[in-house]
Structure 1
Amino acid sequence: MIMRVMGEGQFEVGETHLNRLNELDDELLTALESGDEEHFRRALVELLGAVKTFGTPLPDDSLEPSDLILPDVEATIDQVRELLRAEGDGLIPGIPE
């Protein structure tokens, strides 16, 4: 799965890591619902860090379409809420059963 982190490029992340990314996404949703800025910031940094850790960066000149677009680390709670409205159920999709 190719994930674009706004302002940082694309990362190819294997499906084996999607469960962990979903856990981090759930934590981000919890932080958004609580409105706790510190919790939100921590959760966003952890999610984006995991994408970069588990993912392989694609070259800047790559023309691969992104499966997901994630906010940058500086995104506000309101900006991420807007993304979630557009995406639906979190930023990272669940694995089909």
Structure 2
Amino acid sequence: MIVRIMGEGQLRLADSHFAELNKLDDELLAELEQGDEDGFRRTFTALLTRVRELGEPLPDDALEPSELILPAPGATLEEVRELFGDWGFIPG
């Protein structure tokens, strides 16, 4: 799966990593619903960090369609809440 982190670029992630990422996604959703700013920042940073660690960066000139788009690291709780919807970012 191709994942884009807005403002950073694209990474290719193996499907086998999505169970781990989905746990962080579930935590993030709960923190967004509760308005937990500190928890949101901690979990959102952890999610982006794991995507970067597990993913293989694509070249800047690659034109692959992104199957998953994550907000930029500096996104606020409200901005992420608007993008997140009721289902989260990570499929599954």
Q: Distance in 2 between matches of 1:72 and 1:25?
A: 15
Which residue of structure 1 lines up, in the alignment, with residue 56 of structure 2? Answer: 56
Q: Distance in 2 between matches of 1:38 and 1:81?
A: 14
* Identical amino acids, percent of aligned pairs: 57
Runs of 4+ in 1 over 4 A off after TM superposition: none
Which residue of structure 1 lines up, in the alignment, with residue 90 of structure 2? Answer: 92
CA RMSD in angstroms comes to: 0.8
Gapped regions of structure 1 (runs ≥ 5)? none
Q: Distance in 2 between matches of 1:38 and 1:31?
A: 9
Which residue of structure 2 lines up, in the alignment, with residue 14 of structure 1? Answer: 14
Q: Distance in 2 between matches of 1:32 and 1:68?
A: 19
Which residue of structure 2 lines up, in the alignment, with residue 34 of structure 1? Answer: 34
Q: Distance in 1 between matches of 2:66 and 2:84?
A: 17
